[in-house]
Amino acid sequence: MKLVPPDQGMLYYIIENKRPDLAKKIRDTGIIETAVVGLGGQGTRHAELMQQYGTTITAGIAPGRGGTRLLETIPVYDTIKECLKEHPSIAVASIWRHYSTAKDATIEVIEADIPVVVLISEGIPLKDIRDILVAARKHKTVLIGGNTPGVIFPPEGIKAGMLPDVFYPEEVSPEAFGPKGVTIISRSGAILYHLSDALASVGIAQNAVIGVGGDGAIGSTFRDLVPLAMAYKNTDLVVVAGEIGGCQEELLAEDIKKNPKNYPKPLIALISGAHAPEGKTMGHAGAIVSPGQVYGTFQSKKHALESAGVPVMNSQYDLIAEVQKRLQKKTYFDVENYYKKMKTIWDAPSKKPGWGTLITKVMPNNLLISGYPLQDIVERKGFLETAYLLVKGEFPDKKTVEEMRKIAVEAAKKPVPKVTHLKNEDISKTLVKYFVLDEELAQYPEGGTDGAVKKTIFCLGRTARYLSAILGTEKALGHLHGNEPFSHIIYRAVTGNSTVNEQHSRMIEAMIVACVDHGVTPPSAQATLIAASTRAPYEVAVAQGVGAITDVHGGAGAKAAQLFTECIMKSKKENIDVAQATREIMRKYIEEGKRIEGLGHRLHTKDPRRDVLWNFSSQTGIAGKHVQLSKMVSMIFEQVRGMSLPINVDGVIGAIVADMGLNPAMAKAFFIYGRIAGLSGHYFEEVASQPRMRQINFTEAVYKGKGPRSIV
């Protein structure tokens, strides 16, 4: 069913009255953003239920948990002030803090000018409530509660609080909801649930349901909310559900008499507690009959409301009859169809187990990193920008790019630990030694909003230095100037040349970016995620992932470079066609049981990174005989083996490395270097969004990040 646009619902009407500027943003975006303050068991559980209902929860607020995520996807901040710097359009906040800390949290939210605040917390001391109310009046905040079950707006599919999803809106067609209906305003949460069922049983829709709260002192009373609901054009009738104790109902009746123009629509009251003795509580601090007083009793409330022209009911049956009478038997939906829909919902199978990642969506022939096609990223963005995207979910602005560059360059300048690189030792093993021994990396801070991405960038700078130490090119990093692009640092580390070949530098960076990530299922990502789940230090977890990049996982590029080089050399030496030389070598490999690397992929029939790297190699003038061979090798393999296997990204990188005259092992080095950025993203996502020591089923991962988008 199509929901009512947010700017046509009652919640928007309330927001517009308090913050016209915010209402304009809602009209532009079509979204009402909310925040959840307090992420204990109740706050977290109901945040999930609110989100499932359709509420846009933009952020969570929990001191000490800034930088983590709520429900895997929602950023968490230490304070509402920090939150609003990133998300200035939040219009509703629900407060779930313990009564001992609810005051400061609520006042902080109110003073941030969030127009609608739903205070779920109960038992807040009266002296604290007094301060909260003063702040709310000063800032003209619509404060609901404390001790409220919350608010729900069924036509828009928005709720803040713990009200269940049983309230039903108007149907204007079999496919769409409408905004009209009855507004229910109640002191009791339990009564609300019964009222919903009662009204729905005769086809009466609810366009808004508000639990005012059960504590003795609350933010908004009947006298505040009933006129507000009646002023909304799509409210046809208001039901107030009161109970004995307090004087809300009497004050409402008094205001109706004094200001009848504020009450232009039918109003019906349901009062509970007709037979309660004096002093009997109704479960709330505000529901006490005071002995000897003329207010707070069932009779006093009934008399006050009826004298103001409001019919008072004492049973749901009477209420239904009166509502139907006032609405002239109007119905808002077909009751039989309503129950069929409810049965479908109630009988729905349980949700399949799964867990979320925001980083990479892996699909056949396509890779999206936070919504951006990886091939477009390779073409238009640098390594540091891509690493930032992997961790933060967005590309950095120019100022931030410069900050990140400085961090990476400074990291590359620092000497690295003395590590022995044994002859024929796999480069991944040597890099693991550097990671676990490097105190500079271990001690680099990672706290705060940008701590994770800064540590990642620092790590990438250190990795450039590790590579230069392994390759014996540290001298080329000895005279770095302040404005050195990071791609030049990488080039110096890889080649040992102090004079940078700009075309080669661009090509190397493009190959590294092409390797940054392939989701959570590759062994390197799994190793890092398992370590992160146990809360291993960053450098240890990333080292675990790097250590899993062996010749089996990550070594195909180097072997492809060797194959292409062998084929070209045979062609020259024997003065035969390259294709013929390649066929002969392939047959030899097959006879010897050797694997022909760089071909085939478990998912892609056309690797999305292939063409962009080929194009780069042509644009930079690097493409030569090896790249030319890489474009024919699949066809040649099919002629020899009778199988169609497309060339993959490893094969393309191997060909480019060969045409650049680099050691074939550099193809693996580029793969590892790029993948370190992806492993960093997965590490910080795991720590921020998942429980410790969880059992990880990698096949259950679900991409929950941004949808497809283009680089502007």
Chain-centroid distance, C-alpha 107: 27
- Spatial separation of the C-alpha atoms in residues 181 and 190, rounded to whole Å: 21
With 80 as the cut, is the pLDDT of residue 291 above it? Answer: no
| pLDDT band (50, 70, 90) for residue 290 | very low
pLDDT for residue 188 = 83
Specify the DSSP element, H or E, that contains 275.
Answer: none
Beta bridge pairs of residue 61: 37, 77
The total of other beta-carbon atoms located within 10 Å of residue 68's CB is 18
With 50 as the cut, is the pLDDT of residue 285 above it? Answer: no
- Spatial separation of the C-alpha atoms in residues 318 and 195, rounded to whole Å: 12
With 60 as the cut, is the pLDDT of residue 282 above it? Answer: no
Amino acid identity, residue 474?
Answer: E
Size of the chain in residues = 712
Contact between 171 and 333 under an 8 Å Cβ cutoff? The reply is: yes
More confident residue, 169 or 349: 169
Structure tokens, 627? 């790249």
Lowest model confidence (mean pLDDT) among 40-54, 189-203, 694-708: 189-203
Reduced 3-state DSSP string for 577-631: CHHHHHHHHHHHHHHCCCCCCCECCCCCCCCCCHHHHHHHHHHCCCCCHHHHHHC
Contact between 38 and 44 under an 8 Å Cβ cutoff? The reply is: no
The total of other beta-carbon atoms located within 10 Å of residue 664's CB is 18
Beta bridge pairs of residue 186: 211, 241
Q: Which residues contact 593 (CB under 8 A, 6 or more apart)?
A: none
Burial label for 299, CB within 10 Å (0-12, 13-18, 19+), is exposed
pLDDT digits (tens, 9 = 90+) for 348-371: 888 888 999 999 999 999 999 999
Q: Which residues contact 486 (CB under 8 A, 6 or more apart)?
A: 382, 383, 384, 405, 408, 409, 412, 460, 461, 464
Structure tokens, 57? 């929860």
pLDDT digits (tens, 9 = 90+) for 199-232: 999 999 999 999 999 888 999 999 999 999 999 9
* Closest by Cα among 215, 167, 218, 216 to 194: 167
pLDDT digits (tens, 9 = 90+) for 538-584: 999 999 999 999 988 999 999 999 999 999 999 999 999 999 999 99
Average pLDDT over residues 508-532: 97
pLDDT for residue 278 = 56
pLDDT for residue 276 = 58
Structure tokens, 509? 């960076």
With 70 as the cut, is the pLDDT of residue 284 above it? Answer: no
Structure tokens, 290? 């005071």
DSSP 3-state assignment of 553? coil
- Spatial separation of the C-alpha atoms in residues 671 and 550, rounded to whole Å: 11
pLDDT for residue 352 = 84
Eight-class DSSP state of 695: P
- Domains of the chain: residue spans and CATH: 6-345 (3.40.50.261)
pLDDT digits (tens, 9 = 90+) for 123-135: 999 999 999 999 9
- Spatial separation of the C-alpha atoms in residues 532 and 351, rounded to whole Å: 26
Average pLDDT over residues 160-181: 94
pTM, entire model: 0.86
Average pLDDT over residues 501-528: 97
Average pLDDT over residues 68-86: 95
| pLDDT band (50, 70, 90) for residue 273 | low
Specify the DSSP element, H or E, that contains 533.
Answer: helix 523-533
Q: Which residues contact 620 (CB under 8 A, 6 or more apart)?
A: 503, 504, 506, 507
The per-residue pLDDT of the chain, averaged, comes to 93
Amino acid identity, residue 168?
Answer: Y
With 70 as the cut, is the pLDDT of residue 619 above it? Answer: yes
Sign of CA dihedral 386, 388, 394, 400: negative
Tokens 């690189």 belong to 421
Of all residues in the chain, the percent with pLDDT exceeding 90 is 83
Concatenated DSSP letters for 130-196? HHHHHHHHHTT-EEEESS--EEEETTTTEEEES--TT---EEEETTEEES-EEEEEES-HHHHHHHH
CA dihedral of residues 314, 315, 319, 322 (deg, nearest 10)? -70
Contact between 613 and 372 under an 8 Å Cβ cutoff? The reply is: no
Tokens 């006042």 belong to 107
Apex CA 192: angle with CA 332 and CA 335, to 5°?
Answer: 25
pLDDT for residue 329 = 93
Amino acid identity, residue 154?
Answer: P
Structure tokens, 573? 């030496």
The total of other beta-carbon atoms located within 10 Å of residue 127's CB is 8
pLDDT for residue 314 = 84
How far, CA to CA in Å, does 475 sit from each of 350, 411, 492, 498?
A: 61, 16, 9, 8
Concatenated DSSP letters for 335-366? HHHHHHHHHHHHTPPPPPP-EEESSEEEETTE
pLDDT for residue 274 = 61
Q: Which residues contact 440 (CB under 8 A, 6 or more apart)?
A: 411, 414, 416, 462
pLDDT digits (tens, 9 = 90+) for 300-319: 899 999 999 999 998 889 99
Q: To 10 degrees, what angle do helices 427-437 and 451-471 make?
A: 130
pLDDT for residue 294 = 61
* Closest by Cα among 506, 617, 517, 490 to 564: 617
Structure tokens, 684? 């910080």
The active-site residue, picked from 46, 284, 604, 626, is: 284
| pLDDT band (50, 70, 90) for residue 167 | very high
pLDDT for residue 288 = 44
pLDDT for residue 275 = 57
Tokens 């062609």 belong to 571
How far, CA to CA in Å, does 501 sit from each of 470, 490, 662?
A: 21, 12, 14
- Spatial separation of the C-alpha atoms in residues 135 and 115, rounded to whole Å: 12
The total of other beta-carbon atoms located within 10 Å of residue 451's CB is 15
Specify the DSSP element, H or E, that contains 694.
Answer: none
Tokens 């700017």 belong to 7
Q: To 10 degrees, what angle do helices 649-659 and 502-514 make?
A: 160
More confident residue, 156 or 294: 156
- Spatial separation of the C-alpha atoms in residues 309 and 264, rounded to whole Å: 12
284 is an active site residue: yes
DSSP 3-state assignment of 35? strand
Contact between 184 and 206 under an 8 Å Cβ cutoff? The reply is: yes
Sign of CA dihedral 271, 277, 278, 279: negative
Of all residues in the chain, the percent with pLDDT exceeding 70 is 97
- Spatial separation of the C-alpha atoms in residues 210 and 579, rounded to whole Å: 76
Peptide bond into 146 cis (omega under 30): yes
- Spatial separation of the C-alpha atoms in residues 203 and 661, rounded to whole Å: 77
pLDDT digits (tens, 9 = 90+) for 670-698: 999 999 999 999 999 999 999 999 999 99
